[in-house]
């Protein structure tokens, strides 16, 4: 088991975020050739854990990624969101780390593999946030012959393995990393999370806004690009979701 008693030495960084979206938007994103061949490494997967099983689509960057759920397929409400922060070293846990650190596992070849520890969590119905640390045995046991680092717990090392096992990835993907989020949440929901983010020493930009009619959860995601377009590129998905990629090396996805 990893040693989880050290105090903070580095800030908690973003690991990934998720959002539940309507079926029309989900289908349009899943079927987009541009997203899968140009924007980022992509996969649709079903994850089998000891506590639950779920299906989502994923886009992988260098240190961060994001996952999108189909509201109808998962029987969840559009707008439900989660923000996962991570540490890249067992010497980097913030003071918010508690004595209880549940282990999440993930099935591979019929066996549940150790995946990550949940070090701390905050939030509730509709909006959750948590701090995680990959298990030191994960990369050694999950697709160990896929290439890349044979071990380690860094976000970059794990994402390299995720991408290494995919059948096809873009030769030169545009996505580098998630750079910021805008979240619609009431004061009652956001204030505990804002305080918790301070407790885990996270400097990742999360902007909270008042929820409008029918709006809740993650409304926008900002990205850094490895490869920028020469002019603004706009891609639309479903009724209102828009991804805009800019020549300055940034992108904005409005959900």
Domain annotation covers residue 1: no
| Domain boundaries, position 191 | 13-254
pLDDT per residue over 84-104, tens digit each?
999 998 765 666 666 678 999
Q: Return averaged pLDDT per consecutive 10 residues of the chain, 255 residues in all.
A: 41 95 98 98 98 97 98 93 94 65 96 96 95 95 87 94 96 98 96 95 96 91 97 96 98 98
Question: What's the pTM?
Answer: 0.93
Domain annotation covers residue 4: no
Domain annotation covers residue 8: no
Domain annotation covers residue 3: no
Phi-psi region of 217 (alpha: psi -120 to 50; beta: other; left: phi over 0): left
Domain annotation covers residue 122: yes
Domain annotation covers residue 72: yes
The three state secondary structure string of the chain is CCCCCCCCCCCCEEEEEEEEECHHHHHHHHCCHHHHHHHCEEEEEEEECCCCEEEEEEEECCCCEEEEEEHHHHCCCCCCEEEEEECCCCCCCCCCCCCCCCEEEEEECCEEEEEEEEEEEEEECCEEEEEEEECCCHHHHCCCCCCCCCCCCCHHHHHHHHHHCCCCCCCCCCEEEEEEEEEECCHHHHHHHHHHHHHCCCCCCEEEECCCCCCCEEEEEEEEECCCCCCCEEEEECCCEEEEECCCCEEEEEC
Domain annotation covers residue 6: no
Domain annotation covers residue 145: yes
Q: Quote the number of domains for the chain.
A: 1
pLDDT per residue over 124-172, tens digit each?
989 999 999 999 999 999 999 997 778 899 999 999 999 999 999 999 9
């Amino acid at each position: 088991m990893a040693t989880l008693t050290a105090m903070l030495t580095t800030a908690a960084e973003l690991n990934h975020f998720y959002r539940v979206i309507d079926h029309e938007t989900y289908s349009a994103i899943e079927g987009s050739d541009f997203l899968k061949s140009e924007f980022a490494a992509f996969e649709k997967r079903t994850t089998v854990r000891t506590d639950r099983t779920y299906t989502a689509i994923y886009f992988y960057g260098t240190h961060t990624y994001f996952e999108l759920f189909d509201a109808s397929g998962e029987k969840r409400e559009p707008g439900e969101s989660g923000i996962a922060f991570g540490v890249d070293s067992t010497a980097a846990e913030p003071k918010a780390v508690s004595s209880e650190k549940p282990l999440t596992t993930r099935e591979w070849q019929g066996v549940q593999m150790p995946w990550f520890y949940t070090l701390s969590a905050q939030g509730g119905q509709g909006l959750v946030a948590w701090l995680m640390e990959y298990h030191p045995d994960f990369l050694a046991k999950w697709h160990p012959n896929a290439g890349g680092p044979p071990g380690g717990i860094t976000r970059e090392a794990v994402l390299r393995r995720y991408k290494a096992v995919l059948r096809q990835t873009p030769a030169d993907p545009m996505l580098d990393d998630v750079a910021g989020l805008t979240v619609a949440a009431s004061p009652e929901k956001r204030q505990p999370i804002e305080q918790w983010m301070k407790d885990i020493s996270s400097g990742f930009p999360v902007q909270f806004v008042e929820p409008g009619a029918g709006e809740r959860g993650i409304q926008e995601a900002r990205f850094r690009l490895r490869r920028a377009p020469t002019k603004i590129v706009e891609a639309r998905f479903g009724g209102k979701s828009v991804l805009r990629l800019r020549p300055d090396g940034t992108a904005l996805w409005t959900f």
